């Protein structure tokens, strides 16, 4: 108990809270996309995101002008475009697949990030983590096998979303060397509003037909989840909270059953176990490498 209260672990409860909020938000998105367009949902999320970013910037010590100042404007634009694409693909995937199935495929993202970081950022990845990545790909293959219920366009859309999110995280790592979290948060909202407003208005339903409760829930849970992650990272090292992010798979199964009456089949569960195990092992090896770089090649 005392170890859990140690300063390095204070961010863990916020990381766990983020996974609950993400799983709940995804369930709301899946319910809303049944009657509304993806672009309308994105427009609502991003206008709320930008409003929060502006208020945050105005109340911050650095001020609104400093929040708008970026050393890497093109990379911020690229990040914003990638995030819009990832969210659009995820919401679209929810219209075809169950909550647990999509969430499981999303959990491959950390392994893809590890591979991309090695290829483009020069981060060293030894054979232990290469083996973990291959195991994760095996789990993904089991999930997306032709005899499973994820085979088809829905699975490919979810995989495209996962890959897009991995590239987005790579760009976020790169831009964090130059810009603050507030600046990145602001530009993500600004680019999102610019890309989603026109198609969102074009596909918007009548005001009386909008499910305001679900839309408000998506916006609030999205912001709450992202703030929980940021607060967790401000209290605890990323390597300490990352294993707990896999709990999103755990929450998505009962939420999917209670809300939609669906349960994952055996191949999805087996693939999820392999992916989570591979991800946790990759995180473990990453920690040991940070502590002693010689261990990674041992």
Taking the CA atoms of 263, 153, 163 and 202 in sequence, report the sign of the dihedral they define.
negative
Contact criterion met (CB below 8 Å) for 14 and 235? yes
* pLDDT-based confidence at residue 145 (cuts at 50, 70, 90): low
Q: What is the mean pLDDT of the chain?
A: 80
* pLDDT-based confidence at residue 246 (cuts at 50, 70, 90): confident
- H or E stretch including 207? none
pLDDT digits (tens, 9 = 90+) for 181-229: 888 889 999 999 999 999 999 999 888 888 999 999 999 998 888 888 7
Contact criterion met (CB below 8 Å) for 252 and 32? no
Mean pLDDT within 235-256: 75
- pLDDT over 70, % of the chain: 81
Task: Give the number of other Cβ atoms within 10 Å of residue 8's Cβ.
Answer: 12
pTM of the model: 0.78
pLDDT at 21 over 90: yes
Mean pLDDT within 55-82: 87
What 3-state class would DSSP assign to 50? Answer: helix
Characterise 97 by phi-psi region: left (phi > 0), alpha (psi -120 to 50), beta (else): beta
Highest mean pLDDT out of 53-57, 172-176, 195-199: 195-199
Contact criterion met (CB below 8 Å) for 158 and 105? yes
Taking the CA atoms of 222, 15, 169 and 173 in sequence, report the sign of the dihedral they define.
positive
Only one residue has tokens 């918007």, namely 204
* CA 7 from centroid of its chain's CA atoms: 25
């Amino acid at each position: 108990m005392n170890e859990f209260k140690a300063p390095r672990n204070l961010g863990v409860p916020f990381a766990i809270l983020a996974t609950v909020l993400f799983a709940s938000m995804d369930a709301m998105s899946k319910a809303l996309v049944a009657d509304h367009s993806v672009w309308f949902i994105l427009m609502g999320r991003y206008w709320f995101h930008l409003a929060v970013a502006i208020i945050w910037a105005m109340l911050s010590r650095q001020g609104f002008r400093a929040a708008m100042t970026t050393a890497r404007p093109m990379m911020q634009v690229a990040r914003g475009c990638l995030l819009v694409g990832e969210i659009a693909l995820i919401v679209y995937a929810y219209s075809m697949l169950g909550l647990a199935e999509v969430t499981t495929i999303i959990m491959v993202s950390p392994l893809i990030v590890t591979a991309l970081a090695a290829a483009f950022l020069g981060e060293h990845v030894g054979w232990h983590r290469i083996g973990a990545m291959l195991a994760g790909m095996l789990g993904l293959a089991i999930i997306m096998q032709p005899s499973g219920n994820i085979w088809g366009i829905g699975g490919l859309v979810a995989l495209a979303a996962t890959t897009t999110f991995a590239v987005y995280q790579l760009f976020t790592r790169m831009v964090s060397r130059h810009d603050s979290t507030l600046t990145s948060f602001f530009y993500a909202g600004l680019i999102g509003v610019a890309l989603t407003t026109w198609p969102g208005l074009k596909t918007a339903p009548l005001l009386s037909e909008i499910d305001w409760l679900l839309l408000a829930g998506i916006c609030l849970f999205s912001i709450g989840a992202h703030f929980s992650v940021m607060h967790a990272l401000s209290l605890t090292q990323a390597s300490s909270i990352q294993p707990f992010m896999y709990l999103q798979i755990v929450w998505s199964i009962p939420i999917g059953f209670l809300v939609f009456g669906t349960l994952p089949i055996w191949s999805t569960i087996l693939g999820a176990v392999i992916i989570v195990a591979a991800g946790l092992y990759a995180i473990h090896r990453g920690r040991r490498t940070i502590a002693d770089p010689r261990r990674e090649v041992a």
